Amino acid sequence: MRMAVRESLDRMEGFRTVDRKVPWDLEPTRELLKDQTMPVLFTDLNGGMAAGNLWSERGRVESALGLPRGGLTKALLEAMARPRPVEEVEEDAWTARGSFDLGALPIPKFYPEDGGRYITAGVAIAKLDGKVNVSFHRLMLLGRDRFAIRLVPRHLFTMHRLAQERGEELPIAFAVGLCPSVLLAGAVSTDYEVNELEIASALREIGGLGPLRVRRMGTLQVPVDADYVFEGRLTRETVDEGPFVDISGTYDSVRKQPVFQVDRLHQRRDAILQLVLPGGLEHYNLMGLPREPVILRTVRQVVPRVHAVRLTEGGCCWLHGVISITKNKEGDAMNAAMAAFTGHPSMKQVIVVDEDVDIYDDRQVEWAVATRFQASRGLLVVNNAAGSSLDPSAEGTTSKVAIDATRPLGDAKGFERARLP
Encoded amino acid at 181, one letter = S
Q: How wide is the angle at C-alpha 150 spanned by C-alphas 147 and 155, nearest 5°?
A: 120
Q: Are strands 244-245 and 131-143 parallel, antiparallel or unpaired?
A: unpaired
Residues 6+ apart with CB under 8 A from 168: none
149-156 contact pairs (CB < 8 A, 24+): 149/124, 149/234, 149/241, 149/257, 149/258, 149/259, 149/260, 150/241, 150/242, 150/244, 150/255, 150/257, 151/257, 151/258, 154/189, 155/192, 156/124, 156/126
270 catalytic residue (yes or no): no
- pTM, to two decimals: 0.93
**CA torsion sign, 212 to 218 to 220 to 225?**
negative
Task: Print pLDDT tens along the chain (421 aa).
Answer: 677 899 999 999 899 999 999 999 999 999 999 999 999 999 999 999 999 999 999 999 999 999 999 999 999 999 999 999 999 998 778 898 899 999 999 999 999 999 999 999 999 999 999 999 999 999 999 999 999 999 988 999 999 999 999 999 999 999 999 999 999 999 998 898 999 999 999 999 999 999 999 999 999 999 999 999 999 999 999 999 999 999 999 999 899 999 999 999 999 989 999 999 999 999 999 999 999 999 999 999 999 999 999 999 999 999 999 999 999 999 999 999 999 999 999 999 999 999 999 999 999 999 999 999 999 999 999 999 988 888 888 888 999 999 999 999 987 778 888 888 8
| Structural domains of the chain, with CATH | 56-267 (2.30.110.10), 301-410 (3.40.1670.10)
The CA–CA distances, whole Å, from 306 to 53, 146, 297, 323, 388 equal 31, 47, 9, 8, 25
**CA torsion sign, 184 to 118 to 254 to 247?**
negative
pLDDT of residue 158: 95
pLDDT of residue 416: 82
Encoded amino acid at 49, one letter = M
pLDDT of residue 421: 86
Three-state DSSP state, 65: coil
Strand order in the sheet with 320-325: 306-311, 320-325, 349-354, 398-405, 379-385
Quickly list H helices, 26-67. 27-33, 58-64
Encoded amino acid at 414, one letter = G
Q: Which of 246, 252, 332, 354 is catalytic?
A: 246
- Establish whether the linkage from the previous residue to 171 is cis, with ω within 30° of 0: no
pLDDT of residue 170: 97
CA distance 337 to 156: 31
Residues 6+ apart with CB under 8 A from 161: none
